[in-house]
Amino acid sequence: MPIDSTLCPTPPMGFNTWNRFGMDINERLIQETMDALVASGLAGLGYVHLNIDDGWMAPERSASGALVPDPARFPGGIRRLADRAHGMGLKLGIYSDCGRKTCGGLPASYGHERQDAETFASWDIDYLKQDWCNIPFEDFPGLPEREVAQILYGRISEALADTKRPIILSLCNWGHGEPWEWARGIGHLWRTTGDIVDAYHRPQSGWSGDLLSIFHRNVDLDAHAGPGGWNDPDMLEVGNGGMTDEEYRTHFALWCLMAAPLLLGCDVRALSPATRAIVGNPDLIAVNQDPLGRQAKRAWHAAGVHLLVKPLADGGQAVGLFNEADAPAAADPWPHVPGAGAVRDLWTGATTSRGPVELAPHQTRVWRTAPT
């Protein structure tokens, strides 16, 4: 049975435990985060998925081979959390891995795909993130990683579909084997990059998870995104402390323009006003969630200034201008954007005329044009 591709008409929005809490998670954190999503108003803005990442399983499967939650961290079990989420208008997500162990070394789904899918469905889970650590490549002699990924993600995808419960499937193999070329129809989103870290740019570290390198990897994959299947440049770091507010505004604006999943990765129980204002910007969320479901196209770039244009369902466009450089920049985006008339700045709300723009280092300006 194929997946239900109507499940993800727009990019998923919510929260995931990994960026802020790593393996150090428990049921109280999940409950308090549910409460905070609702109390902060973020759930009302669309952040409804509460996704538990690595660290929830007990170190061993049960006698019958089923995954079980760690009894010390999740004494009430997962089903009870799902019921609580559903009672609050939220959805509960969970995490596993295609290999023998998760990236954190806990039991994973290889050889247990059907059993795990049935377990998750029996818990009323709404979303599964399926990771790519500890893959037994020796069981697939001579096959390239891309084909192994197609086989193993295909197995969990079919197993989930056969449960008949609508469960969003998030492929997390970091862009290995170009999942954007084949993952539509297997899952609803696919990572395009390695793991994000809470940093703007770290050229000296050799680490590719900074905001800038992730942007460069994801920005030109726009042709592959659309309703039912999304490029995933990884979860949000807004509010975790490693970037300036200007850089966090850039992070959020670029993710909205690139139709990326908006999965908060900060401590939602302790949101600063600045973080709340960034991730709660309703005009940017509307750009991300626009029903046309297009990822912005990079329409022009020069000297580290990038122009992104996202067509919208009402016939207007979202226009972003990003200065990646460490120095201020000036550019006129409008000759590259079809149409005429005033535009609205989505950070300030002000209506402005089309004209040359100055950008601070690492700044992203975003506007919405009216339908032509």
| Cβ pair 149, 179 in contact under 8 A | yes
Residue 227: CB minimum distance to ligand GLA, A: 24
Catalytic position from the list 53, 131, 232, 267: 131
Burial code (b: 16+ CB inside 10 Å, e: under 16) for 212-233 equals: bbbbebbbebbebbbbbbbbbb
Structure tokens belonging to residue 239: 């509010």
Q: Half-sphere exposure of residue 313, counting CA atoms within 13 Å on the CB side?
A: 11
Nearer to ligand GLA, 131 or 247 (CB): 131
Nearer to ligand GLA, 97 or 247 (CB): 97
Residue 195: CB minimum distance to ligand GLA, A: 5
Nearer to ligand GLA, 190 or 347 (CB): 190
| Cβ pair 93, 16 in contact under 8 A | yes
Q: Half-sphere exposure of residue 87, counting CA atoms within 13 Å on the CB side?
A: 8
| Cβ pair 127, 170 in contact under 8 A | yes
Residue 55: CB minimum distance to ligand GLA, A: 8
Q: In whole angstroms, what separates CA 145 from the centre of its chain? A: 23
Nearer to ligand GLA, 108 or 319 (CB): 108
Residue 141: CB minimum distance to ligand GLA, A: 26
For the question of residue 131 being annotated catalytic, the response is yes
DSSP 291: T
Q: Return d(Cα 358, Cα 61) in angstroms, integer.
A: 57
For the question of residue 126 being annotated catalytic, the response is no
Interacting residues with ligand GLA (CB under 6 A): 18, 53-54, 102-104, 131, 172, 195
Residue 194: CB minimum distance to ligand GLA, A: 7
Nearer to ligand GLA, 237 or 324 (CB): 237
Q: Return d(Cα 242, Cα 238) in angstroms, integer.
A: 9
Active site residues: 131, 195
